[in-house]
Structure 1
Amino acid sequence: MTDPARSTGPGTPAGPGTPAGPVAAWHRLAGDSVLLDGFHALKHALRFGAEVRLALTADRAGALALADELAADVRDTLAALLTEVPHATYAALVPRPHPTAVAALAVRPSRTGNLARLAHAPRTAPVVVLDNPRNLGNAGAVIRLAAGFGATGVVTTGTLDPWHPTVVRGGAGLHFATAVERLTVRELPPGPVFALDPEGEDIRSLKLPDDALLAFGSERSGLSAELRARADHLVALPMRPQVSSYNLATSVAMTLYHWSATGGAPGTS
């Protein structure tokens, strides 16, 4: 039986009147897939082993030129995956068209596998915990940071879905480079909890262990009472008086940098 995603042939442009196969496949797969929004999200997902079900573009030549320039390691894979459709067809399939006119659908990593990775001991890099985050873009930026520093994973508590398309877009596809899950405070993996709080000990006096859970409160209300009660250490970032707070992603970046600068090794998780 012919796969409708391949009705125009793998990696071949669809003619102006023949987007029905890829579009039908997209609608069939979208419900339980991760949306990879843009060239860079697809590039990163492929680099870290994502199973990509379908990849569409309104500019196949442009996407492959980007691959030649920025992602030669996955260029051949992209060439085999990308199917060209008219720009209007592409734009109708995504919430907000990306400048690179590329979108793909990938299989979400196994929750069981992610939980095993988060709980594995000994850990060689911390887990970032976002306690009741509110801003989807901030959550995506944190996942991108965590992947760059080689953190074991990012866990959110509360109602925000860390696999929401806006979060994945903000993370540039790097959800596939680290373990990303939503848990309750009671379900957090083992390890000492270092929670960021203005009343805590100056982070510059501490060495953060590799198996730490680095917890950050919400942008509006800080740490929840439940997470504060679970914390083993309260930690404060240096801040000029009368400055109320840092952006969430900035706080995570400063903390992960401190971990890496005092003995942690990015990329070892």
Structure 2
Amino acid sequence: MARHKRSHPHGSPNRPRMWGKHAVAAALDNPERKVLRAWATQETAGLMQFPKDVPVTFADVADLGRLVPHDAPHQGVVIEVEPLEDIWLGDIISSAPEQALLLVLDQVTDPHNVGAILRSAAAFGAVGIVTQDRHSPPESGALAKAASGALERVPWARVVNLARALDEIGEAGFWRVGLAGEAEMDLKDALGPARVALVLGAEGPGLRPNTREHCDAVARLPISAAIESLNVSNAAAVALYAASIA
């Protein structure tokens, strides 16, 4: 007997579910995002601009809670979407202005961290983020919620080979600064050129050796000795601020 694949109750990589007012509103406002269906309370539905072709099911808070992972803060609205179309790295860097910030993530896989980094990237006007396709999280509700709408606004290029991508970034005139706690140089001393690519590694392993070799400089954030390191999303926010005012 043939087995029928059951749909995942909380969405799937091919049909992710998003929740929360900011994440959903941003998805609805994004002309590049295909929204397949929606569930909402009567009250929250009145605050959303659902397209006429999107089927909306009215549900109570408890029913919505069963559509998302346990304790996810859905805020009365859940949508199912198609993932965004792939964005090419070449398109991001070729359209970047003379003064630009770019984030490169080396095997940062936690969706909450990547979502928070997207949010900081939007806040400081970064032209995009770059990750390795095999070592980065897919679009998901948790990532979109942490990004608070930035998933729809910040270009995200997924590449096969991060070292080759860093070569391409360097050829486009970006000064590539890797962040590492053990570096001797402070970040402010490593900055200078108008186009900057900040390269951050995963918590624990940090930057891989091959990634370091493709950076123009390796620097650290001058944090207090009272704490060993910052969460990668916090480090990204601090580094973006420092680079934006340099």
Q: TM-score, normalised by structure 2?
A: 0.78
Q: 1:117 to 1:56 in 2, by over 3 A?
A: same
- Structure 2 residues not aligned, in runs of 5+: 1-7
> 1:66-118: CA deviations, max 9, x gaps?
x4xxxxxxx5x34755723223553333334534121113333321x443432
Match of 2:153 in 1: 177
Match of 2:189 in 1: 205
Counterpart mapping for 1:248-263 below 5 A:
248-262=232-246
Q: Aligned partners of 1:208 and 1:79: how far apart in 2? A: 46
Counterpart mapping for 1:2-41 below 5 A:
32-41=14-23
Q: Aligned partners of 1:135 and 1:245: how far apart in 2? A: 17
From 25, 34, 59, the equivalent of 1:86 is 59
Q: Aligned partners of 1:121 and 1:62: how far apart in 2? A: 38
Displacement after TM superposition at 1:211 (Å): 2.8
SS of residue paired to 1:212: strand
Match of 2:69 in 1: 95
Counterpart mapping for 1:213-252 below 5 A:
213-252=197-236
Structure 1 counterpart of 2:214, which letter?
R
Q: Aligned partners of 1:201 and 1:261: how far apart in 2? A: 18
From 172, 188, 193, the equivalent of 2:176 is 193
SS of residue paired to 1:215: strand
> 1:183-217: CA deviations, max 9, x gaps?
22134241331101231421223435443221011
Structure 2 counterpart of 1:138, which letter?
N
**Between 95-104 and 231-240, the greater mean CA deviation after superposition:** 95-104
- Structure 1 residues not aligned, in runs of 5+: 1-25, 68-74, 263-269
* RMSD across aligned positions (CA): 2.9
SS of residue paired to 1:138: helix
Dislocated runs of 4+, deviation >6 Å: none
SS of residue paired to 1:46: helix
Q: Aligned partners of 1:237 and 1:79: how far apart in 2? A: 45
Structure 2 counterpart of 1:250, which letter?
N
SS of residue paired to 2:91: helix
Structure 1 counterpart of 2:104, which letter?
V
Q: Aligned partners of 2:135 and 2:39: how far apart in 1? A: 32
Displacement after TM superposition at 1:167 (Å): 2.0
Displacement after TM superposition at 1:119 (Å): 3.2
Match of 1:105 in 2: 80
**Between 184-193 and 241-250, the greater mean CA deviation after superposition:** 184-193
Match of 1:166 in 2: 142
Asked which structure has the greater CA Rg, the reply is 1
Q: Aligned partners of 1:60 and 1:187: how far apart in 2? A: 50
Counterpart mapping for 1:113-128 below 5 A:
113-123=87-97, 124-128=99-103
SS of residue paired to 2:83: coil
Number of aligned residue pairs: 226
Q: Aligned partners of 1:210 and 1:46: how far apart in 2? A: 34
